[in-house]
């Protein structure tokens, strides 16, 4: 069995790892020990919740607080943590915790799954990732407790704070306040809104970017990747805030919160179902673009968006694709267009199937739901709990693809290419 596992490609190992955790989580949530007294959880809802947690999405078929007891909520929180950090990172963390050493096969797996250029320093990187996670989530627990302790007993407030901090940093819009309210009761609480936004933003930047910013602390010394992530994040946050303020009757705090949350977190401080079509369109775009590579978020990623923009601009001006006085490699440009194209295909196909499965819902609602699932966001217009089994399975598959990435899913079917002939070149008219 071990020899067979070692022969698997890193992409297939990651896919199998995530699938195993999802199935294990669904079985735990399906057990009576996970549910509140008198509540019977259907397996499809347990599977949906487990997938949403591991894929750090936040879409819910049943209310987390009203359905699951303390044990069940703990399982959900652990699934969110494993999904946010990644199966490989968590596995390596446990190995280090028991004092074992990571072999060369394990180091190569970490390098490939995290898109690193070398195996040098990968174990040290995992340690720093785990430390950063505990640090940010710990700060989030303290600040959240200051808010929740005003409305709940100390022990309950602590539990809610821990769950909220884990969910926010891992960009998963789960809440345990009950009644499908999410954070609507705290829409005007500045401390909780800013704390949640801070956790979402740092969780969505990517661990490598956070580490580089902390070590170098100078824009001139930052790598091109870090500059692209930071600049694109700021632009999307600003543009999203302004557009949502223009389209919806919400406060500036609410607009900033929803702009931040829409890029893969899924928390809501206002009822999304009450938003105008223009507001839903803005949220849909933000959900599709998503967070940054190597982070806890989803979407096509900020770097992909930036490279697409720069590539189109360079093509229009007949120049080489470049940014911040650095040329962007052609392979990166091709990969960005491939990811965007595959992502668009996934969203279109899944939306089509959702339209077939749920003809009673509007196209805007179904498109919003699919993009939310694909971007691992968790925002919903309120139709998730009313969907049938087929529609829920479609969203489960969409969340799975969105968390792993369409390119990763495509490569698990790839085999070693056969040697072929070189063909002569011929042009095709475009546009």
Instruction: Give the pLDDT confidence of 7-25 residue by residue, as tens digits.
Output: 556 667 778 888 889 999 9
The fraction of the chain above a pLDDT of 90, given in percent, is 59
Q: What is the pLDDT of residues 115-145, one digit of tens each?
A: 665 666 677 777 888 888 899 999 999 999 9
The angle that helices 104-113 and 10-30 make with each other, rounded to 10 degrees, is 80
Quick check: 53 pLDDT over 60? yes
Q: What is the pLDDT of residues 245-282, one digit of tens each?
A: 999 999 999 999 999 999 888 899 999 999 999 999 99
Q: Please give the model's pTM, rounded to 2 decimal places.
A: 0.89
Please tell me the predicted confidence (pLDDT) of residue 23: 94
Tell me the average pLDDT across 145-154.
Answer: 95
- CA distance linking residue 354 with residue 364, whole number of Å: 11
Tell me the average pLDDT across 89-117.
Answer: 62
Of the pLDDT bands very low, low, confident and very high (cuts 50, 70, 90), residue 100 is low
Contact 382, 59 (CB under 8 A): no
């Amino acid at each position: 069995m071990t020899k067979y596992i070692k022969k698997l490609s890193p992409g297939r190992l990651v896919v199998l790892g995530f699938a195993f955790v999802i199935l294990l989580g669904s079985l735990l949530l399906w057990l009576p020990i996970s549910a509140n007294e008198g509540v019977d959880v259907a397996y499809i809802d347990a599977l949906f919740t487990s997938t949403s947690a591991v894929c750090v999405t936040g879409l819910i078929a049943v209310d987390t607080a009203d359905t699951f007891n303390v044990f069940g909520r703990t399982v959900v929180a652990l699934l969110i943590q494993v999904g946010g950090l990644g199966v490989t990172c968590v596995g390596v963390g446990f190995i280090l915790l028991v004092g074992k050493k990571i072999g060369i096969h394990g180091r190569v797996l970490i390098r490939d799954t995290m898109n690193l250029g070398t195996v040098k320093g990968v174990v040290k990187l995992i340690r720093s990732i785990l430390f950063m996670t505990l640090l940010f989530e710990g700060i989030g627990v303290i600040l959240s407790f200051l808010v929740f302790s005003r409305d709940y007993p100390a022990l309950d407030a602590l539990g809610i704070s821990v769950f909220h901090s884990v969910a926010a940093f891992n960009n998963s819009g789960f809440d345990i306040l009950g009644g499908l309210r999410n954070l609507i009761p705290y829409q005007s609480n500045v401390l909780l809104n800013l704390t949640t936004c801070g956790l979402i933003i740092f969780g969505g930047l990517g661990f490598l970017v956070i580490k580089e910013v902390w070590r170098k602390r100078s824009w001139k010394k930052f790598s091109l990747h870090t500059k692209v992530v930071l600049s694109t994040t700021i632009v999307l946050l600003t543009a999203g805030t302004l557009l949502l303020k223009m389209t919806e009757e919400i406060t500036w705090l609410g607009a900033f919160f929803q702009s931040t949350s829409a890029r893969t977190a899924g928390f809501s401080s206002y009822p999304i179902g009450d938003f105008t079509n223009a507001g839903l369109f803005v949220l849909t775009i933000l959900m599709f673009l998503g967070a940054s590579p190597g982070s806890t978020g989803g979407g096509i990623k900020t770097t992909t968006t930036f490279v697409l923009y720069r590539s189109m601009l360079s093509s229009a001006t007949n120049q080489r694709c470049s940014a911040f006085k650095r040329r962007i490699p052609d392979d990166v440009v091709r990969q960005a267009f491939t990811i965007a194209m595959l992502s668009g295909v996934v969203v279109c196909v899944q939306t089509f199937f959702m339209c077939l499965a749920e003809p009673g819902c509007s196209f805007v609602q179904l498109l919003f739901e699919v993009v939310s699932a694909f971007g691992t966001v968790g925002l919903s217009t309120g139709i998730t709990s009313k969907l049938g089994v087929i529609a829920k399975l479609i969203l489960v598959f969409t969340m799975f693809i969105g968390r792993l990435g369409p390119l990763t899913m495509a490569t698990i079917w790839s085999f070693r290419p056969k040697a072929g002939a070189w063909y002569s070149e011929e042009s095709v008219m475009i546009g």
